[in-house]
């Protein structure tokens, strides 16, 4: 194949991704990049595809509202949970969503600390994912409370009975971890957005948009002082967010490990859950960037290099998860606890065997196709694998929550669980809410972190200039 002259290269739009793509197209300048990203946020009318995607998502969000309203009216008896399976969709979907959110934070914070250049153009999408994933997760624990109007009992507050919260309980750790995570995520997300809101404010043409983005930018102008403190504080925030995300998902794991239920009572759970967070995070971020890069023409910022790296990371986390499944089986039979063994055999061969083997197939076996470099760049294959991983992660949580509970220590208490319509409607409702949030952020918020992209473009250009210097 002959090498085309740089100016003869086809426009980035529609060019197939290649593994040796640069992190950012050299043709991109800081001015053209800023203009394009601002233009997306400032479009007068939304794209047609945006409406086609948004309307069903809003409909599902309304379904969520209706489901919650009926739940508050009728109580959690409308769900399929009953003795012995008292934790159903609410808990497993909570864990699933919090994993998706955590994956976004890992890309945004951990890879910032590692100085990974590919993280720059996708970090805003990852942060939106973290925000709306955390929002979707955050409503479940409240719904799951039998008496949601007493949710504030989780806080300690002055009361005439002299009661205090029980701080030694993992469930209370989880409450504080979630509160911290949601607040810290919002602060971290907004902090990195201020310079970009300033760029949009300065490009806005209508007074209304100038005012709204001006207020959102809080008067960020890129002065020496503003940049200096922002750099310092953002670095520390990222250094904080990375362990927080590990802590939140570990604590979710400890909710389970703290209980003496067969299949849960294991020190393996915290790291096992963090691996799951990585796997679902990488798959959702791929599912978001693949359509967005094409629909918004971001192929020169989100290149084949990004797909290649993310697929490799997805494969790595799939291997970590597979290791955790293997150890789960190993410790069960090595440990010699009869109830654990009975539960595990029921899990693998009993009523819920399709859930277990589905999990293994979707999370462990299918991602192995990413050993092939060609398939790591094949977008339909990536989408198919990522969708299956997202479903696989949900099945994994179903497996952990439901199959462990359906075989408790006492055989007389065995039973099965079936979700009801309201379980499903709440789940698809949160999916609709998550996607509505993502679509709104795509519409109104700079979808790429422009100030970090400008730094990246400046350093890559300086590096190229140094390489060409005599």
Q: What residues line the site for another protein (CB under 8 A)?
A: 29-31, 34-35, 156, 162-168, 170, 172-173, 176-177, 179-180, 183-184, 187-188, 190-191, 195, 198-199, 201-203, 214-215, 218-233, 235-237, 240, 243-244, 247, 251, 254, 451, 454-455, 458
Note the maximum CA span of the chain: 82
Closest CB 181 distance from another protein, rounded Å: 8
Q: Whose Cβ is closer to another protein: residue 86's or residue 215's?
A: 215
**Beta carbon nearer to another protein, 132 or 173:** 173
Q: Is 218 left (phi over 0), alpha (psi -120 to 50) or beta?
A: left
User: Measured between alpha carbons, how far is 60 from 431 in angstroms, rounded to an integer?
Assistant: 8
14 or 162: whose CB is closer to another protein? 162
Alpha carbon separation from 430 to 62, 188, 245 (Å, rounded): 10, 23, 21
CB of 105 to another protein, least distance (A): 12
Q: Rounded to whole angstroms, how far apart are CA atoms 411 and 431?
A: 36
Q: How far is the CB of 43 from another protein (least distance, A)?
A: 18
DSSP lists the bridge partners of residue 85 as 82
Give the whole-angstrom CA distance, residue 26 versus residue 300.
9
- Which residue lies nearer to another protein by CB, 121 or 403? 121
The CA distance from 191 to 220, in Å, is 11
Q: Pull the structure tokens for residue 39.
A: 């233009």
DSSP-assigned letter for residue 264: T
Structure tokens at 272: 């096992």
Distance CA 350, CA 263 (A): 15
CB of 364 to another protein, least distance (A): 30
The string over 390-411, giving b where at least 16 C-beta atoms fall within 10 Å of a residue's C-beta and e elsewhere, is: bebbbbbbbbbbbbbbbbbeee
Q: How far is the CB of 358 from another protein (least distance, A)?
A: 32
Q: Smallest distance from the beta carbon of 173 to another protein, in angstroms?
A: 4
CB of 55 to another protein, least distance (A): 34
> Which residues, 6+ apart, have CB-to-CB distance to 68 below 8 Å?
139, 143, 426, 429
CA 250 – CA 266 distance, rounded (Å): 12
Tokens at 17, concatenated: 């991704």
Nearer to another protein, 65 or 240 (CB): 240
Shorter beta-carbon distance to another protein: residue 306 or 454: 454
Answer yes or no: are the C-beta atoms of 433 and 136 closer than 8 Å.
yes
Q: Please say which residue, 53 or 254, places its beta carbon nearer to another protein.
A: 254
2 or 205: CB nearest another protein? 205
At 84, give phi and psi (nearest 5°).
-90, -10
Residue 165's SS3 state is coil
**CB 448, min distance to another protein, A:** 14
Closer CB to another protein, residue 28 or residue 126? Answer: 28
Taking the C-alpha atoms of residue 99 and residue 140, their distance in angstroms, rounded to an integer, is 14
Q: How many residues does the chain have?
A: 470
**Residues 202-228: b if buried by 16+ CB within 10 A, e if exposed:** ebbeeeebeebbbebbeebeeeeebee
**For another protein, the closer CB: 59 or 458:** 458
Q: How far is the CB of 262 from another protein (least distance, A)?
A: 19
Q: Whole-number minimum distance, CB 213 to another protein, in Å?
A: 11
């Amino acid at each position: 194949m002959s090498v085309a002259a740089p100016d003869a290269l086809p426009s980035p739009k529609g060019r197939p991704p290649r593994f040796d793509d640069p992190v950012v197209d050299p043709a991109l300048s800081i001015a053209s990049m800023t203009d394009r990203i601002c233009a997306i946020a400032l479009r007068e009318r939304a794209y047609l595809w945006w409406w086609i995607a948004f309307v069903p998502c809003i409909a599902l969000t309304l379904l969520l509202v209706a489901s919650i309203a009926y739940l508050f009216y009728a109580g959690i008896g409308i769900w399929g949970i009953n003795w012995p399976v008292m934790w159903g969709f609410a808990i497993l979907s909570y864990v699933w969503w919090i994993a998706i959110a955590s994956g976004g934070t890992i890309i945004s914070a951990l890879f910032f600390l590692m100085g990974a250049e590919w993280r720059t153009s996708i970090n805003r999408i990852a942060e939106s994912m973290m925000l709306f994933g955390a929002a979707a997760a955050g409503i479940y624990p409240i719904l799951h409370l039998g008496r949601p109007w007493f949710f504030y009992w989780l806080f300690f507050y002055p009361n005439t009975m002299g009661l205090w919260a029980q701080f030694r309980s993992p469930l209370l750790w989880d409450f504080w971890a979630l509160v911290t995570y949601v607040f810290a995520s919002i602060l971290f997300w907004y902090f990195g957005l201020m310079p970009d809101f300033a760029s949009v404010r300065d490009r806005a043409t209508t007074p209304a948009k100038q005012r709204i983005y001006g207020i959102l930018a809080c008067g960020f102008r890129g002065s020496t002082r503003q940049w200096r403190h922002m750099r310092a504080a953002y670095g520390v925030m990222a250094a904080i967010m990375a362990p927080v995300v590990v802590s939140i998902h570990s604590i979710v794991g400890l909710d389970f490990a703290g209980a003496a239920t067969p299949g849960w009572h294991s020190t393996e759970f915290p790291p096992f859950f963090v691996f799951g967070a990585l796997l679902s995070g990488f798959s959702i971020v791929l599912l978001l960037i693949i359509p967005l890069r094409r629909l918004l023409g971001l192929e020169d910022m989100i290149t084949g290099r990004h797909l290649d790296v993310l697929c490799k990371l997805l494969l790595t986390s799939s291997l970590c998860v597979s290791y955790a499944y293997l150890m789960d089986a190993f410790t069960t039979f090595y440990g010699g606890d009869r109830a654990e063994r009975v539960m595990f055999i029921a899990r693998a061969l009993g009523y819920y065997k399709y859930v277990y083997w589905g999990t293994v197939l979707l999370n462990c076996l299918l991602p192995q196709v990413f050993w092939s470099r060609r398939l790591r760049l094949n977008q339909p294959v990536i989408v198919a694998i990522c969708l299956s991983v997202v479903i696989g992660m949900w099945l994994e949580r179903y497996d952990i929550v439901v199959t462990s509970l359906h075989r408790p220590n006492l055989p007389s208490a065995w039973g099965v669980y079936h979700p009801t319509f309201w379980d499903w409607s709440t789940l698809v409702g949160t999916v609709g809410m998550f996607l509505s949030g993502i679509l709104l952020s795509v519409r109104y918020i700079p979808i790429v972190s422009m100030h970090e992209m400008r730094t990246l473009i400046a350093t890559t250009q300086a590096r190229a200039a140094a390489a060409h210097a005599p």
